[in-house]
Chain A
Amino acid sequence: MSGPVSSLPAGGVARAPLRLRLATDRLAVRILLAVALSMLGAALLIALSGHGPLTAFAAMAVGAAGSAHQIGAALNRTTPYLLAGSGVALCFRAGIINIGAEGQIAVGGIGAVAVALATPAGMPPLLAILAALLGGALAGAAWAAVATAIHIGRHVHEVLATLLLNFVAVLLVQQALAGPLGQFGAGFLQSPLLPRAIWLPRLPLIEAHPGFLIALAVAAALSFVLWRTRFGFALRVAGASRPAAAYAGFSLARLTWGVMLLAGALAGLAGGIEVLGVQRRLIEGFSLGFGFKAVTVALLGALEPLAVVPAALFVGLLEAGALSMQRQIGVPSALVAVIEGLTMMFVLAATVRRA
C-alpha cells in the first residue's frame, strides 16, 4: 500500500559515507532553486502588502541573527525541528511516511514534565534533567509505538494512523493539564512552573540552551546509522524497493518498528527539550505545527540527516526573524508559513525521480 516516497532519492548505496551525497546528484542545486523560487514568491507577496521586499528580508535577517540573544532564540527554535526532522528523514528513507512527529512531540512534553514534577527536590540537577529528557523520549517512542502497532497489526496506512493520533495527542496534553499535571486556578491550561534546577542551562555568549548541540550530535549519529550500519542499509533498500528488501531477508515489520521507535523517541526528546529549555512548563498547544515543520525540514534536507541541519536552521531563522519583521515594518509574520509551504511544494516538484 505504501510505496517508497517516489520523489526522493534512494540511491547512493556505495558512495563515500562522510561526503554529503547531495552534490553528486545536482539535488542540492535543485533544492536551492526551489528555496529561491519560494523566496521570490514571498517577495511578490510582500510587495502586494505595500512594503519593499528587500527591506522586509533585511528586517527578517536582523531579527534572526542581529544579536547574540536573537541567534540564541533562533537556535532554540531550530532544535525541535532538527531533532524530529532527522528522525522523520530516516522514516521517509525507508518509505515510511511518518507524519506523527506532532503527536510524539506533544506526548514527549507530557512525559518530560511528568518525570520532572515527580523528581525529588534533592536530586542532582544533571541527573534530574537527564531523567526528564529520558521520560520525554520514552513517551514519544510509546506514542509512535501505538501508531506502528495499528499500522503493522491492522494494515492501516501509516499516514492515517500517525495523523489521527496527532489530534488525540494534542487533546491528551489538554487532558493532562486539566487533570494531574495542571496548575490549579491558573485560568488557562498549563502545568506549574518547573523547579529552576531542572531548567536547561544557557550556553555562554549566546542565549541558547544545549539542546541544539544535542540535536547536532543526533543528526551526525543518524547520518552514521543511515550510511554505515546494517540497519541503515536495510532502511535504504526498503525505501528503494520493498520487494528487494524482503528478498534480501530484511524483515519489513522489524525495520518499521525500529525506525518508528527511533523517530518517536527523537520527537519525544524534542518535546522534552522544548519544555525544559524554552517553556519551562507544559502549555496547551506548545507543539502546534512542530510536526509538520519536521516533515518540511526533512524534505528540504533531502532526507539526509546532516543536510537536515541547514534545513532546520533555515526554518528556525526564518521564524525567529519573521516576528521581528512584523514588529519592525508590519509585514505579517504569517508569511513564514507561506514560505514553508511554497518551499515544500517546490522541493517536491524539483526532486521527483524522473521515470
Chain B
Amino acid sequence: MTEFLAAAIRIATPLLLAALGGILSERAGVFAVGLEGMMLAGAFAATIGAWAGGSAAAGIGLALAGGAVIGLAVAVVAVRWRADNMVTGLAANILALGLTSYLLRVAAGGGGRPASIHLPLLGPWPIPVLADLPVVGKLLFAQPPLTYLALLGCVAFTLFLGRTQAGLALCATGENPEAAFAAGADPLRVRMLAVIACGAVAGLGGAVLSLQQVGTFTDGMTGGRGYLALASLIVGRWTPFGAAAACLVFGAAEAFELRLQTFGVPVSSYIVQMAPYLIALAVLAVLGRSARLPAAIGRPLEQ
C-alpha cells in the first residue's frame, strides 16, 4: 500500500508543478493549453543544463528558463497580439516538440541521431526525524527535492493568490480586467507575467521527469502529461490544493495500472490507461456549468 501511494505521488509530482503553473495563467485569464510544450521545454533544458553544467542545480535553473521561453512565446502571441489562447497553446506545443527534438540532435548528436545523455537521478532528501515516522515518514518526508518543492508550491500559491496584492491583481485580471485596470493594475502586464511564470513553473514539472525520474531526455517525453495537468487544474477548480488532489487521483489511476500489469490481472492495460482521461471527462461533465471558469478567461484585452 505504501508503495502504491509512493508511486501515485511520484506520478503526480510533475503533473502538480505543471498544474500550479497553469493556475497562474488561467486565473489571470489565459487558457493554459501550452502546458505540454512548457513542460517539454523544461525537461529538455533541465537535461542540457545538468549535462553541460554538471549539476542538477544548473539543470533546474535552465528548466525554469526553458519553460519561461515557451511561456514568453505564448504571452506575446496570445496576450500581446490577442490571438486565440487555445490555438496558440497548441502551436506552442508543436513548436516545443520540434525545437527540443531538433536541438537534442544538434546539441550533441550527429547525422540526425539524438545525443545520448545519461544523468544521475536526483535522490531522496530524507528530513531527519520526520522521515522515520511510520508510513507518512517515507511518503512525505523522504522525497527528492522537486517533490518537496511541488508540495510547498501548493501552500505558497494558495497564499500568493489569496493573500497578496499581486495575487489579487492577478485573479482580478482573470475575472474582470477592466475593473483591475480601474483599480490600478496593468492587465496586459499581469497576464504577460502570469503566462511567463506559468512557463517557468511548468518547466520545473518537466525537470521532475528528466532529472528526478528518467535521467535523460527523449523526444516528446512528456507524453500528454501537460494536457493531464490542464485537466487536473480544471477538475481542481483552479485552486492549488484542488489541483493537487486531482493530480493524486490521476497518479493513483496510473499507479493502479502499473500494479495490475505486475500482478498479471487480466484487465487490458489500455483500458486502464484511459482512466485519467475518462475521469477528467466525467468530472467535467458532472460539474457542467458549475465548473465556473475565471470570468474573463480567453477574452482578449481591450486596449
Contact = CB atoms under 8 A, between A and B. Distances in A.
B268 A178 contact: yes
Contacts, number: 166
A349 B293 CA distance: 25
A220 interface: no
Interface residues of A, number: 57
Interface string A225-255: 0000000000000000000000000000000
Interface in B65-113: 73, 76-78, 81-84, 86-88, 90-99, 101-102, 105-106, 109-112
Contacts of B76: 349
Contacts of A160: 230-231, 234, 280, 284
B293 A1 contact: yes
A349 B80 CA distance: 9
A174 interface: yes
Given A168-B274, A348-B84, A349-B77, A341 B281 contact: no
Interface in A239-298: 292, 295-296
Interface in B201-230: 219, 224, 227, 230
A341 B99 contact: yes
A3 B299 contact: yes
A267 to B, nearest CB: 16
A182 to B, nearest CB: 11
Given A3-B299, A99-B90, A341-B91, A349 B98 contact: no
A294 to B, nearest CB: 11
B77 A341 contact: no
A97 B87 contact: yes
B270 A171 contact: yes
Contacts of B83: 6-7, 348-349, 351-352
Interface in A324-346: 326-327, 330-342, 344-345
Interface in B181-217: none
A348 B91 contact: yes
A208 B153 CA distance: 54
B84 A7 contact: yes
B288 interface: yes
Contacts of B277: 164-165, 167-168
Interface string B33-72: 1000000000000000000000000000000000000000
Contacts of A168: 274, 277-278
| Interface residues of chain B: helix, strand, loop or mixed (majority) | helix
A329 B223 CA distance: 29
A15 interface: no
A295 B90 contact: yes
A348 B284 contact: no
A337 B98 contact: yes
Contacts of A355: 82, 300, 302-303
Interface in A174-213: 174-175, 178-179
B149 interface: no
A49 B303 CA distance: 41
19 contacts: A2-B298, A7-B87, A45-B106, A154-B284, A154-B286, A163-B33, A171-B273, A175-B268, A292-B94, A295-B87, A327-B112, A330-B110, A336-B98, A348-B77, A348-B84, A348-B87, A349-B81, A355-B300, A355-B302
Interface of A: 1-3, 5-8, 45, 48-49, 97, 99, 150, 153-156, 159-161, 163-165, 167-168, 171-172, 174-175, 178-179, 292, 295-296, 299, 326-327, 330-342, 344-345, 348-349, 351-352, 355
Among all A-B residue pairs, the 4 with the closest Cβ atoms: A341-B95, A337-B98, A334-B101, A344-B91
